[in-house]
Amino acid sequence: MFLETNDEIIAIELKSVKPNSGEMRGEKQKILEGKAALYRHYPGKDIKFYIGFPFDPTTDPNDPTSYDKVRFTASIINMDKYFDHREVLLASELWDYLSGDTSTMEQILSIINSIATPTFMADFAFLCDNSNRNIDKQRYRQLLEKWHLASELEVLDNQEAILEKIGTNKRLQKVYYKSMFYSNKSYNKERALTLMSLL
């Protein structure tokens, strides 16, 4: 992951929480080479390079956002040998760093837990069928709120204005009537952005 601000470059190598044995030496070498290249390319900027792990499997499973960096790094072969704890972003520390906010991992887990229900597939199928935004607008809205699909809520709330702007433009009509999800089930953000740009 690569982030740039006015005065710094931040690079984060995201890893599995169970890296292969002996991988830490190679990771450190890759990070040092990356840092050197970034220093050359961005001479006036502070370079920060981290190794990030999305969660800590060594902590209490009843508190999935907690972490113990000392225990975690000790559980990985040669991690303490090659990495200072200040170079490691772990669990909620990683997510808060990326968002610039607090309790980010808790928010992510809350969203996942609210969506991952026994009705998930039926809800997904309902949202994929665009006709449902007019047939059962209330349920459609409730699912958009539950799934935190703010862009789609904005499209729904401004549906009349968007349709008026689209008019007879066939290309935009096709965008409007597309599903909010691609066939591979990933979110079609471009659709929402195109429609919101009409407002």
User: Nearest-CA neighbor of 75 among 21, 119, 113, 28?
Assistant: 21
Please check whether residues 34 and 76 belong to one and the same domain: yes
pLDDT at residue 20, as a whole number = 78
Please check whether residues 95 and 175 belong to one and the same domain: no
pLDDT at residue 192, as a whole number = 96
Please check whether residues 144 and 188 belong to one and the same domain: yes
Average pLDDT over residues 144-169: 96
For the stretch 50-93, pLDDT in tens is 999 999 999 988 898 999 999 999 999 999 999 999 999 999 99
pLDDT at residue 22, as a whole number = 76
Of 82, 111, 140, the residue that ends a domain is: 111
Of 111, 129, 148, the residue that ends a domain is: 111
pLDDT at residue 197, as a whole number = 97
Q: Residue 47's domain spans which residues?
A: 2-111
Number of domains in the chain: 2
Please check whether residues 31 and 87 belong to one and the same domain: yes
Percent of the chain's residues with pLDDT above 70: 100
Place of tokens 């096709």: 174
Please check whether residues 60 and 43 belong to one and the same domain: yes
Please check whether residues 7 and 103 belong to one and the same domain: yes
Please check whether residues 55 and 95 belong to one and the same domain: yes
For 9, the 3-state DSSP assignment is: strand
pLDDT at residue 139, as a whole number = 98
pLDDT at residue 55, as a whole number = 94
Please check whether residues 70 and 147 belong to one and the same domain: no
pLDDT at residue 191, as a whole number = 96
Size of the chain, expressed as the number of residues it contains: 199
Contact (CB, 8 A) for 148 and 110: no
Of 87, 111, 135, the residue that ends a domain is: 111
18: DSSP letter: S
